[in-house]
Amino acid sequence: MGLIKKVPVYIEKFPGGGILTTSLDYVLSQSRASSLWYLLFGTACCAIELMATGASRYDFDRLGMIFRASPRQSDLIIAAGTITKKMSPRLRLLYDQMSQPRYVIAMGGCTVKGGPFYYDSYSVEKGIDHIVPVDVYIPGCPPRPESLLEGCLTLQKKIKKEKIADWS
Ligand code: SF4
């Protein structure tokens, strides 16, 4: 019986075949991290970089990132752009409509902390973590596609460490 490097996968070989044993936690976390379907939530200029990341040059799909237009089919919200106070209840509603476990990436200075609207704006949220829990923050105005890819890889690493008992 052998352990493949540091992952909890054991292989017992027999003539003509073998048995592979592992934990359900491991299979589910690997699968989930490798197929993150994200809800489009672009509200301003950062969304242009999000769209560029999804196009052929950066090819988001190779990370298993597929965009969806419905929260019911999404594991992740990538909030990209300025979030106004009027928009906040919609963001929360969409988040609540996603099944668990669910994740949020705050892309760009506006979603992280209000960005250029931090001062002297009565209408912009000063960070979306007042509305929904955020898993990964990506600074920048706007962040480049490479930053978004790095943020998604960071989220994938986090998900791979999760256990079923963490889902709530
Ligand atoms: S962070 Fe900058 S680029 Fe992104 S939505 Fe705000 S103002 Fe636009």
Q: How far is CA 5 from CA 2, 10, 11, 115, in A?
A: 9, 10, 12, 43
Q: In percent, how much of the chain has pLDDT > 70?
A: 95
Q: What is the pLDDT of residue 164?
A: 78
Pick the more confident residue, 16 or 83.
Answer: 83
Q: What is the mean pLDDT of residues 160-168?
A: 78
Q: What are phi and psi of 108, to 5 degrees?
A: 100, 155
Q: What is the pLDDT of residue 95?
A: 97
Q: What is the mean pLDDT of residues 91-102?
A: 94
Separation CA 53–CA 167 (nearest Å)? 29
Mutate which of 84, 107, 110, 138 for ligand 1? The one with the most ligand atoms within 8 Å of its CB, which is: 110
Closest atom of ligand 1 relative to the 141 alpha carbon: 2
| Closest C-alpha to ligand 1, atom 6 | 110
Q: What is the pLDDT of residue 10?
A: 82
Residues 6+ apart with CB under 8 A from 15: none
Q: What is the mean pLDDT of residues 11-37?
A: 88
39 by Cβ neighbours in 10 Å (0-12 / 13-18 / 19+) ranks as buried
Which part of the chain is CATH 3.40.50.12280?
Answer: 37-160
Q: What is the mean pLDDT of residues 83-93?
A: 96
| Amino acid at the residue 41 | F
Closest atom of ligand 1 relative to the 81 alpha carbon: 5
pLDDT band at 45 (very low <50, low <70, confident <90, very high): very high
Please name the helix (run of DSSP H) or strand (run of DSSP E) that holds residue 77, with its range, or none. strand 76-80
Are 94 and 71 contacting, i.e. CB atoms less than 8 angstroms apart? yes
Is residue 23 scored above 80 in pLDDT? yes
Q: What is the pLDDT of residue 1?
A: 47
Q: What is the mean pLDDT of residues 26-34?
A: 90
Look at residues 129, 125, 128 and name the one whose alpha carbon lies nearest to residue 117.
125
Write out residues with Cβ below 6 Å of ligand 1: 44-46, 81-82, 108-110, 115-116, 141-142
CATH number of 37-160: 3.40.50.12280
The token pair that represents 29 in the structure block: 């976390």
| Amino acid at the residue 96 | D
How many angstroms is it from 62 CA to the middle of ligand 1? 26
